[in-house]
Amino acid sequence: MLLGPILLLAGVVLRFPFHFFFPQQLAAFKEYPTLMTASYSMFIAGNVLMWPAVMTLIRLISINKPNWAFWGGTFAIFGLFARAFHAGIDHLAFQLVRIQGLEETTKSIADSYGAFHIFHTFSPAILFGWIILAIGAYLSKTLGLLRSVSLGLMSALPLGVLKGTTPFSVIATVGLCIAFVPLGCKVIGDGPVPSLRNLITWFLLITVLGILFFFIGQAG
């Protein structure tokens, strides 16, 4: 709830200077590969981190409104799956810019844009999931009116392959931060306080595993 929204917001802000549609996104990657890689990497990292945040919200809503929690959470998580699938296509497209060049890659993406895949059926879930969760959060008194509306704004975040940033992208991710970051702080505050020793142990363990997984992934 703390890191996910902030990473999503950082990802959309970094690519704000470039036009929304895919030819300009590919051109931006060719011109600014490090910036665009950082933007898309932050976005998908934030997207992945949203699943435990959504699960936590589901748990809180389900105390009073279990049906709203179930359906809103299910749709929202399906939407996260769809965005992860889109991110894989984004990554491949950017690598093709390196290998084949901008013109050839743009033509290939244009010719295959909109091709059917099973994950496309999850796309409407991105829209409806956040709205249902927002209503459930308000009705269950998990969030107040302002933060519930802010959560519902996530339905305005554009979806699809190689999507850049629009004003709606910024509004949606800022709304997510308003809804989730204070709630994340509350969840942490309500939980048991870990000892310094446990914090250091977990930090070292996560660091070692992160490095190990990185090299294993590179070898694969």
Q: In this predicted model, what pLDDT tens digit does every residue of 16-63 receive, in sequence order?
A: 999 999 999 999 999 999 999 999 999 999 999 999 999 999 999 999
State the average pLDDT for the chain.
91
CB of 79 closer than 8 Å to CB of 122:
yes
CB of 191 closer than 8 Å to CB of 138:
no
What tokens were used for 72?
């809103």
pLDDT computed for residue 188 by the predictor: 86
- List alpha helices for 114-195, DSSP H: 123-139, 145-152, 167-190
15 phi and psi, to 5 degrees?
-105, 15
Number of H helices, E strands in the chain: 9, 0
Q: Classify residue 143 by its DSSP letter.
A: S
Name which of 73, 67, 219, 47 is nearest 139 in CA terms: 67
- List alpha helices for 17-65, DSSP H: 22-31, 33-62
pLDDT band (50, 70, 90) for residue 220: low
The mean pLDDT of 121-129, rounded to a whole number, is: 81
- Whether 141 shows a pLDDT value over 70: the answer reads yes
101 phi and psi, to 5 degrees?
100, 165
Domains of the chain, residue spans: 3-191
Task: List the single range of 133-137, 154-158, 166-170, 188-192 with lowest mean pLDDT.
Answer: 188-192
C-alpha span between 126 and 78 (Å, rounded): 7
What tokens were used for 47?
């997207």
C-alpha span between 146 and 104 (Å, rounded): 47
CB of 73 closer than 8 Å to CB of 58:
yes
Predicted structure pTM score: 0.89
CB of 159 closer than 8 Å to CB of 172:
no
